[in-house]
Amino acid sequence: MTRAHSTRRLVFGLLAALVAGLAAAPSARAQGAGTVYRTQHYDLRLVPVATGLNAPWSLAFLPDGRMLVSEQVGRLRIVTPDGRISRPVAGLPELYVLNQGGLLDITVGPRFEQSRRLYFTFSEPGETYVGTAVARARLDLDAHRLRDVEVIFRQRPKLSGDRHFGARVVLGPDGKLFVTLGDRGQRERVQDPTTTLGTVVRIEPDGGIPAGNPFVGAAARPPAVFATGFRNPQGAAVDPDSGALWVVDHGPTGGDELNRVAAGKNYGWPVATHGVDRDGSPIGVGPHAPGMTPPVHSWTPSIAPSGLSIYTGGLFPAWQGDFLVGALGGRRLVRLERDGRRIVAEEPMLQRLDARIRDVVQGPDGRVYLLTDAPNAELYRLQPAARPRTAQ
């Protein structure tokens, strides 16, 4: 374990009881409504915050404690801490809403109190074809609408089809944006250096190209590209200790991946993969190929990983620095315990919930918030139900 992670676990372990006591307590009604799940370190209470969301895709906290929730069907909602869901926020651009397409990720910009800036990804229709796009806008809370909407990045080329948009957008420690882009179902084009299919791009908040990007000045590679070789990366998080970007990616049949994404690296799809095609036939050359970076962790059978969060709060000190991964096909929350860059243990949680988990977000209160994926979906809050237990 790194020195930073070890120190943080010790400090938070000593202060766990104090932190838990200082955290805002849920109402008596919420305590009674929550279901308790037993895990390695904690008894967890899963408390419903809001219900009736239609295919929610992403959750982001505003500074005042309210939450933005994107619904893939093309609506942006504001949810209060007590679970009231607003009418749709006006001002979204035209969306392509079909299968995996629609309104996707949303991220609140820095210094939101002054700028009111947010960033979101969506599937953008063209005259004939569709592609992942990134937009920025200002949220006018009084008028309940987006203003100054501007598309700052478009995946190229636009293609036919309604799947593999990728589309997580996260802020790096320098304020620049990382955006994950899927292969749009055309895996044979991912290793084509002239496209942004199956890549992670890094852009300025206004869509400009950072001078430090690895392919700036390369004639055959779009300068926004940061890393390549992905299939459908639907979860991303920046490590607050190291500033490193971590991404979870959907494999084909088997071979889902967790990758530590470094500048200029190629993560293999579809040349190197732990997965196979639907009929069991091999894809590429197998798990490893020269010049391609293998995953830090993989899943076979697939769990269909979606949201990704790195836990840094005080309510779950035993989880300090661990990854929390939502599983769609696996219908669970997965905790990956790590020692620096290595995954040393995996714990499946919340299997009894039996729900597709789309997004996982640490709240400002140290609790963990989950979005399920369904036409009538839930926003849940995960919190300790009792004192931490010794691992058994």
3-state secondary structure of 353: helix
Give, for 287, the enclosing helix (H) or strand (E): none
> What CA–CA distance (Å, rounded) separates 367 from 56?
19
> What CA–CA distance (Å, rounded) separates 292 from 170?
24
Task: Determine whether 274 is an active site residue.
Answer: no
Q: CB neighbours of 44 closer than 8 A, spacing ≥ 6? A: 36, 37, 38, 349, 350, 382, 383, 384, 385
Residue 351's nearest CA partner among 376, 332, 325, 324 is 332
46-79 exposure pattern, b = at least 16 Cβ within 10 A, e = fewer: bbebbeebebbbbbbbbeeeebbbbbbbbbbbbb
> What CA–CA distance (Å, rounded) separates 275 from 269?
10
> What CA–CA distance (Å, rounded) separates 314 from 366?
6
> What CA–CA distance (Å, rounded) separates 367 from 81?
12
5, 41, 144, 164: the active-site residue: 164
Residue 314's nearest CA partner among 363, 371, 349, 357 is 363
> What CA–CA distance (Å, rounded) separates 231 from 305?
12
Question: Would you state the structure tokens that stand for residue 100, as one six-digit string?
Answer: 């995996």
> What CA–CA distance (Å, rounded) separates 209 from 177?
10
125-154 exposure pattern, b = at least 16 Cβ within 10 A, e = fewer: beeeebbbbbbbbbbeeeeebbeeeeebbb
Active site members? 164
